[in-house]
Amino acid sequence: MSIQEILNLVQLLALVIISGGTLVIGALVAPTLFANLCREEASTIMIATFGKFDCWIKFSALALAIAKFSELIFVHKFNFAIETGTGEAITKVMNGDLINSTLLVIVISAISLYITFKLSPAIIQSFEDDSNEFKSLHKRSEMMHRINFLLSVFLLTYFI
């Protein structure tokens, strides 16, 4: 197995965890819990579920970013910027797919880390405090998860 294949596998697994977990929790777990349990019980379970899922998202976002930048360094040699002053080497090595996939990885990782380090703790705190902020934070979280899901699915198409 080549280094490119290993790095692709790491990126694929990270994207599957981010997109698959978001889909399962958002489309299956949350609606089922809130349809069958009282709000307090369902919320308690969802907080515990997202607490565990946040750990997986953190790990996946970091693995995704490390694998992508390792790919740039070890596979694409990351020396394209100094090969020539005319830009010819840049167009040969930094093709559109590589640029787009790198930007997507940066955005997905940033959103994932924002959700897990900033948004989730704020949501939990506002829920525990029974704050008016909870609804707006929850909506923002839903939007960020949806954006991350769509970007992850789009990035998965680069591997097809």
Amino acid at 92: K
48 closest CA partner among 63, 24, 60, 30:
30
pLDDT, tens digit (0-9, with 9 covering 90-100), for 4-62 = 899 999 999 999 999 999 999 999 999 999 999 999 999 999 999 999 999 999 999 99
The DSSP call for residue 158 is G
Give the pLDDT of residue 88.
56
Residues 95-117 have a mean pLDDT of: 92
